[in-house]
Amino acid sequence: MFETLCAIFSGKRKPVVIPPARDPWEGSDGYYVASLRVHLDDIANRLSRGGCATRTRFNPQKRCAEFHTPAGEVLARVEAHGEMGCFPYKAIVTLSVLVPRAVKRLFAVSQFGGCRVIVKESQSLL
């Protein structure tokens, strides 16, 4: 380690720059789905503990939340709808047809903070 530090300070070796961590929900402020983040992260944690490594993020192009694998494969998208200045009254979950039945049931019984949840399937979530 001492040799590495000497090489960096002498200019013979450049330090490795680690970029700052990026919030996967960056840009979600002002969208109803952002108010569901705690509920969606909880579902992702339950899925991960059950053997299906899952994370959540905000997709600014589609204006929705996504459940994805560490490899980036999208398993589900969640859109939220509401009235101006209120909590969302409806969440639409679009699941990949490849998602196991147990995962589909988990979404079907989720409350998302009391809003109505509609679960749909799609052949492709591109």
Per residue in 81-99, pLDDT (tens digit) is: 988 778 889 999 999 888 8
Q: What is the Cα gyration radius of the chain?
A: 19
Report d(CA 29, CA 15) in Å as an integer.
Answer: 35
- Residues 62-80: tens digit of each pLDDT: 999 999 999 888 999 999 9
**For the chain, what are the domain ranges?**
24-122
Report d(CA 10, CA 4) in Å as an integer.
Answer: 10
Tell whether the model's pLDDT for residue 4 goes beyond 80: no
Question: Binning pLDDT at 50, 70 and 90, where does residue 10 land?
Answer: low
Q: What is the pLDDT of residue 109?
A: 81
* Residue 8 in tokens: 């960096």
Question: Binning pLDDT at 50, 70 and 90, where does residue 14 land?
Answer: low
Tell whether the model's pLDDT for residue 51 goes beyond 80: yes
